Amino acid sequence: MNAVNVSKLRDIVRARRFFALVRKETFQLLRDPSSILIAFVLPVILLFLFGYGVSLDTGRTRIGLVIEEQTPLADDLSASFKGSRYFDVLEGRDRRNFDAKLVSGEIRGIIIIPARFASDFAARVNPEIQVIVDGSDTNTASFVQNYAQGVVASWVAIRSVEAGAQEGGSTSPISVEQRFWFNQELTSRFFLVPGSIAIVMTLVGTLLTSLVIAREWERGTMEAMMATPVTSAELLMGKILPYFVLGILSMTLCVIIAVFLFSVPFRGSILALYLLSAAFLVPALGQGLLISAATKNQFLASQLALISAFLPAFLLSGFLFEINSMPVAIQWITFIVPARYLIPSLQTLFLAGDIWPMFLKAMAVMLFIGSIFFILAARSTRKRID
Amino acid sequence: MMLPDDNIQSEFVRLSGISKSFGQNSPALKNVSGIVQGGKITGLVGPDGAGKTTLIRLITGLMQPDVGSISVVGFDTKTDAPSIQGLIGYMPQRFGLYEDLTVQENLNLYADLRSLPLNERTAAFDELLTFTDLKRFTNRLAGQLSGGMKQKLGLACALLKKPKLLLLDEPGVGVDPISRRDLWKMVKNLTKDGIAVVWSTAYLDEAEACDTVLLLNKGELLFFGPPIELTSRVKGRVFKLTGISGSRRLALSRILDRQDVVDGVIQGEAVRIVTTADMNGNDLADTAGKNAKLHAAEPRFEDAFVDMLGGGPGGRSKLAEAAPRIDDQKGKLVIQANGLTKRFGDFTAADGITFDIPRGQIFGLLGPNGAGKSTTFKMLCGLLKPTQGEGRVAGFDLRRDGAEARNRLGYMAQKFSLYGDLSVRQNLDFFAGVYGLSGTRKRERISLMSEIFSFAARDNMPTRDLPLGLKQRLALACAVMHEPEALFLDEPTSGVDPITRREFWTHINGLVEKGVTVLVTTHFMDEAEYCDRISLIYRGRSIALGSPDELKAGVATKQQPDPTMEDAFIALVEASEREAAA
């Protein structure tokens, strides 16, 4: 046999070993209900939770409205509040009636139209109203504050139009119309769905992968594998490939549910979706391998995966919390969280369409982080058991 | 110790001055040298923690020695591990099977991994499946096979693409004696083709059947050579004492305290003794009563091992001496099992198990792993609710008065389930508390236990770091802290060295003489000899019940006039299977 044939034969042998490992892993995966649960049932639960349960939208917020002196002007403003679609108004004459309700959370804020409101207005001194909010829930507090300002502003505008009309003037008031692009209804569900896709792929890529490798150590099968001519690269790649496919399938399921059940718009291309997801799975799987190289115990592996991959993907990726509003030190940490690059890209992909410069940059960063994980994992995974 | 070097060709493994340590612990192997030859079974013999698994891993090249070198079929494990891994078959302790793959899928996987050419597969699979008698089960998941079948499949996987060297790590543990015997025959056949086999075991009777033995104890090589060479050191010093009048346990205790006795164990109604060279035969027999007689017996590997370790412990048990005598209502039934049945779904783990144990007796449940011993055991301690039947301890029905019954029993779980992170003292404290001891009595009992088992020096050591023998002592101390009248022992001495085992049984024998009733489960045939009566459990049913001597006598034939416990077990299982088939 000449040299070419020998090396060809070796390739065939390697390929066969590799596919034997992939086949084994696939059989195990299909027969293990817990993998199916994590890859297919969990995403559905997660999407339904975010789709129906968790919503960052404000509906009608209940507030107290105190009118200290009943004047036609105050009544007019109060009618504006009552007519607002953002507020559910309880009316009273004394602030003290509402204090307890604010503390108990029954109402989210108190708006006070003071006694001298009418006289100030007549005197064209800047009339003031007071807004008291529950600062313990900053999100709602700022909503109340902003919407209250909005109500007052439009009321002032309408008043001045009416006043101008009476005076015969032609001062047309400037009306500000807000317009949100791409998500006109500002439905948070549309933002949350792409985020949950990242979460699901983190679970499959990192948690599941590190668990199944730890399980092989615990059951002693890893040792038996290692005593055969298999190389450690074959062993690791044989593990990764099936979970890569599983991650992609799981992502596909998420997208189908999001688009067809929750009517999340899908304005980008399928190619971009799969490229982004594939690029994200590289660091996710790399991290799973790294964890399993560090621990040979399923419990520890799951803890490490949850803390180092799942929680950052949840909290430090811009999924639930705006990265720009985090402390600077934390913002720096987010740069090594792969989900941070995937989530904005997916949001853009769903709601705006393909923006290739953004996607390519995100993919490059994710592949870079992934390759670091893989290098570290390959270094610490030798075919040794001591 | 001499290394045979006449036939270099047959030298498959050469160990030269191997040492290996893990962290701060005492070394796992200390300066071990030896040779494994082709066409022979080399036994790697020793109790748990002796260094057997470490040595096998070193031979596979998955671990490297700190000192010394190993060459396998001419390759050095340090530099040529991949070449070695292409030539060996290795079956690790849990057989290395994927439980969620079928028998055939496991075989396919290993065939691919070992690069068995496709055109040879059909023949190889056929041969191995016939050889292991697994043909009928090719589509069954490996996880659903019995222990014996798993073991055979593990062997088949290791034998794909015929290896030059076969490494088997404790293949016989917990497997039923029939499978063990089958496996032994298969491996013996392989050596005819020139394969070198390394068989590691903690069972000393397996050691006897090997061609060569590496005997390890605490990482040190005690002996290297044919087992017969080792047993010859006690030749003419091994006896069987029969016709003992009175309690054989008391007789043993007296005998063990004699200067001219090295070792002694109970064997059914008789006592097996190893003496010093200058013993006084008549005087010795007299210790056991007028009718007692000494018969010369065939020396066994275990006799020689104990002799080599400097003899067994004495016959006195401080634990038993400190225990109060329970002699109310002699002959009262302390533990009763009446038709105990447990079903898990459509699987019957225990089927109508019935026996009773009078005060001051040892009763054994003997059978392979998965036979239903532990299930029966757990029903009797009130840990598992029987599907049918009832169990009683000290007269209390376990269904109604489980707590009362549990207060009267001491339980020593398999593998000594102590809290590894707690110190010796904390474990004693904890178990004393669990059993409701407090105040002065608690302090007294704990200090008594510390004194009897000499825990003082290690009071603050985490239990995890204790040597196996001490763990077992501590587990016993925790189980007897509250002076229970019934003692439940689950595989109490599996894997411990023979000296620790003797010490343990000296305590148990002493306690039994004081009136404690003992129920013990074991898959260890030798341990069954300590029992007054045993029940053979096989596939959830009790297939025989009687004293060890009765059971053995029942299967004696002309060809086999003096069967061992294992012979008896095999014969009885075969008889019950014939019955089931008929």
Q: Which residues of B touch A17 (CB under 8 A)?
A: 112-113, 115
Distance CA B392, CA A194 (A): 62
At which residue do the structure tokens 């099977």 appear?
Answer: B97
Q: How confident is the model at residue B321 (pLDDT cuts 50, 70, 90)?
A: confident
DSSP SS3 for B208? helix
Between helices B424-434 and B439-452, what is the axis angle to 10°?
140
C-alpha distances in Å from residue B406, one per residue of B232, B377, B379, B386, B509? 48, 13, 12, 16, 22
Residue B8 has pLDDT above 80, yes or no: no
Is pLDDT of B112 > 80?
yes
For the segment A75-83, the average pLDDT, to the nearest whole number, is 84
Kindly list the distances between the CA atom of residue A70 and the CA atoms of A73, A91, A115, A284, B380, in Å, as whole numbers in the listed order.
8, 12, 8, 63, 83
Residue with more model confidence, A291 or A177: A291
**E runs forming strands in B466-552:** 486-490, 517-522, 533-538, 541-546
Q: How confident is the model at residue B228 (pLDDT cuts 50, 70, 90)?
A: very high
Give the distance from residue A291's alpha carbon to the nearest chain B alpha carbon, in angstroms: 21
**Res B259: pLDDT:** 85
- Work out the pLDDT band at A383, boundaries 50, 70, 90: low
The token duo for B337 is 């099992």
Q: Give the pLDDT score at B31.
A: 93
Q: Touching check for A225 and chain B: CB below 8 Å? A: yes
Q: Give the global pTM.
A: 0.79
Select from A228, A230, A381, A384 the residue whose CB has the most chain B CBs within 10 Å, as the one to mutate to test that interface: A228
Asked if the model's pLDDT at residue B201 lies above 70, the reply is yes
Q: B349-359 pLDDT, tens per residue?
A: 899 999 999 99
Average pLDDT along chain B: 87
In this prediction, residues B519-532 reach a mean pLDDT of 86
- For chain A, what's the residue count? 386
Check if the interface score ipTM surpasses 0.90. Answer: no
What pLDDT band is residue B1 in, cutting at 50, 70 and 90? very low
Contact B34, B184 (CB under 8 A): no
Check residue A339 and give its pLDDT. 92
Tokens of B467: 């040597």
Q: Residue B330's pLDDT band (boundaries 50, 70, 90)? A: low
> What mean pLDDT do residues A58-73 have?
81
Please determine, for residue B4, whether its predicted confidence score (pLDDT) is greater than 60: no
Mean pLDDT over A78-91 rounds to 82
- Spell out the alpha helix ranges (H) of A187-305: 188-202, 209-219, 221-226, 232-260, 270-294, 298-305
Count H helices, E strands: chain A? Answer: 17, 4
CA-based diameter of chain B, in Å? 77
On whether the CB atoms of residues B115 and A17 are closer than 8 A, the answer is: yes
Q: Which of B507, B420, B421 is nearest to B471 (CA)?
A: B420
Query: Taking 80 as the threshold, does the pLDDT of residue B394 lie above it?
Result: yes
Contacts of residue B441, defined as CB under 8 A and 6 or more positions apart, other chains included, come to: none
pLDDT score of A187: 57
Better-predicted residue by pLDDT, B84 or A382? B84
Which of B57, B112, B115 is opposite residue A385, by nearest beta carbon? Answer: B57
Q: Chain B residue with minimal CA distance to A238? A: B113
Cβ-contact A308, A287 below 8 angstroms: yes
The label of the residue with tokens 């591990």 reads B81
pLDDT digits (tens, 9 = 90+) for A270-320: 999 999 999 999 999 999 989 988 888 899 999 999 999 999 988 888 887
Q: How many CB pairs under 8 A join A and B?
A: 85
Domains defined along chain A, listed by start: 19-54+186-380 (no CATH), 61-166 (3.40.1710.10)
Helix (H) / strand (E) containing B225: strand B220-225
The answer to whether residue B374 scores a pLDDT higher than 50 is: yes
Asked if B85 lies within 8 A of A28 by C-beta distance, the reply is no
Kindly tell me if the per-residue pLDDT of B127 is higher than 80.
Answer: yes
pLDDT confidence of residue A167? 55
Contact A20 B113 (CB under 8 A): yes
Cα–Cα distance for residue pair A252/A76, rounded to 1 Å: 54
DSSP H stretches of helix in B215-273? 227-231, 248-256
Q: Are B13 and B36 in contact (CB under 8 A)?
A: yes
Residue type, B56: I
Q: Which candidate, A228, A23, A219, A27, places its Cα nearest to that of B101? A: A27
Q: How distant is the Cα of A383 from the closest Cα of chain B, in angstroms?
A: 7
Using DSSP's 3-state secondary structure scheme, residue A124 falls into coil
Q: What is the pLDDT of residues A14-31, one digit of tens each?
A: 888 899 999 999 999 888
A28: nearest CA in chain B?
B100
CB B109 to CB A20 under 8 A?
yes
* Closest partner CB to B62 (pick from A19, A220, A384): A384
B105 contacts on A by Cβ (under 8 Å): 24, 27
- Please tell me the predicted confidence (pLDDT) of residue A174: 45
Tell me the β-bridge partners of B201.
Answer: B45
The secondary structure of B376-437 as a DSSP string is: HHHHHTTSS--SEEEEEETTEETTTSHHHHHHTEEEE-TT----TTSBHHHHHHHHHHHTT-
Instruction: Quote the CA–CA distance of A177 and A171 in Å, as a whole number.
Output: 18
Q: What percent of chain B has pLDDT over 70?
A: 97
- The structure tokens listed for B469 are 């023998």
CB B428 within 8 A of CB B477: yes
CA distance B104 to B142: 9
pLDDT at B2: 41
Beta bridge partners of B197: B41, B166
Of A276, A280, A308, A307, nearest to A201 (Cα)? A280
At A186 the pLDDT is 47
Which residues 9-68 of A are in CB contact (within 8 Å) with B?
Answer: 13, 16-17, 19-21, 23-24, 27-28, 31-32
Please name the amino acid found at residue B53.
Answer: T
Q: According to the model, what pLDDT value does residue A189 have?
A: 67
Nearest to A384 among B63, B90, B94 (CB): B63
Q: Say if A330 is an interface residue toward chain B (CB within 8 Å).
A: no
Give mean pLDDT, residues B93-97: 85
Residue B88 in tokens: 């060996």
Q: Which of B21, B63, B87, B109 to mutate to test the interface with A (most CBs of A within 10 A)?
A: B109
For residues B405 and B485, the answer to whether their CB atoms sit within 8 Å is no
**Closest partner residue to A227 among B64, B88, B98, by Cβ?**
B88
Query: CA-to-CA distance for B21 and B38, rounded, in angstroms?
Result: 29
Q: Closest by alpha carbon to B146, among B368, B339, B315, B324?
A: B368
Can you tell me the distance from the alpha carbon of B523 to that of B374, in angstroms, rounded to the nearest whole number?
Answer: 11
Provide the shortest C-alpha distance from residue B81 to chain A (in Å).
Answer: 9
Contact residues, chain B, for A24 at CB < 8 Å: 98, 101, 105, 109
Range A39-53 average pLDDT: 80
**Candidates B75, B83, B101, B115, partner chain A, best to mutate (most A CBs within 10 A):** B115
Q: Which residues of B touch A (CB under 8 A)?
A: 22, 57, 60, 62-64, 81-82, 85-86, 88, 90-101, 105, 108-110, 112-115, 141, 157, 167
Residue A182 main-chain phi, psi, to 5 deg: 70, -25
Q: Is the pLDDT of residue A58 over 60?
A: no
pLDDT tens sequence across B158-174:
988 889 999 999 887 77
Gap between the Cα atoms of A204 and B250, Å rounded: 64
Q: Average of pLDDT values for B23-42? A: 89
Q: With a cut of 50, say whether residue A336 has pLDDT above it.
A: yes
User: How confident is the model over B470-511, as pLDDT tens digits?
Assistant: 888 899 999 999 899 999 998 888 778 888 889 999 999 999
Mark yes or no for CB contact B92/A223 under 8 Å: yes
Mark yes or no for CB contact B112/A226 under 8 Å: no
**Would you call B62 and A223 a contact, using CB atoms and an 8 Å cutoff?**
yes
**What residue in B sits closest to A24 (Cα-Cα)?**
B109
pLDDT given for residue A249 in this prediction? 93
Note the pLDDT of residue A170: 43
Q: A220 at the B interface (CB within 8 A)?
A: yes
Q: What mean pLDDT comes out for the span B65-94?
A: 91
DSSP 8-state assignment for residue B264: E
| Partner-chain contact B96 A385, CB within 8 Å | no
Statement: residue B66 has pLDDT above 80 = yes
Half-sphere exposure of B206 (CA within 13 A, CB side): 31
Dihedral sign of CA atoms B54, B58, B61, B63 in order: positive
| Digit-coded pLDDT (tens) for B397-432 | 888 888 888 888 898 887 667 788 889 999 999 989
Mean pLDDT of B262-274: 89
pLDDT of B7 above 50:
no
What residues of chain B lie within 8 A of the CB of A229, using their CB? Answer: 82, 85-86, 113-115
Q: Nearest-CA distance from B336 to chain A in Å?
A: 38
> Is pLDDT above 90 for B47?
no
Q: Which residues fall within 8 angstroms of residue A233, CB to CB, at 6 or more apart? A: A378
Of B216, B183, B529, B549, nearest in space to B364 by CA: B529
Given this model, what pLDDT does residue B244 score? 87
* Contacting residues of A for B60, CB less than 8 Å apart: 226-227
Residue A138: is its pLDDT beyond 70? no
- Across B6-10, B152-156, B252-256, B266-270, least confident range: B6-10
Contact indicator for A110, A98 with CB cutoff of 8 Å? yes
> Does residue B508 or residue B457 have the better pLDDT?
B508
Helix (H, G, I), strand (E, B) or coil at A320: coil
Structure tokens at B353: 């198990």
List pLDDT tens digits, range A142-163: 777 777 777 887 887 777 777 7
Report the alpha-carbon angle A21-A27-A33, nearest 5. Answer: 130
Return mean pLDDT, chain A: 82
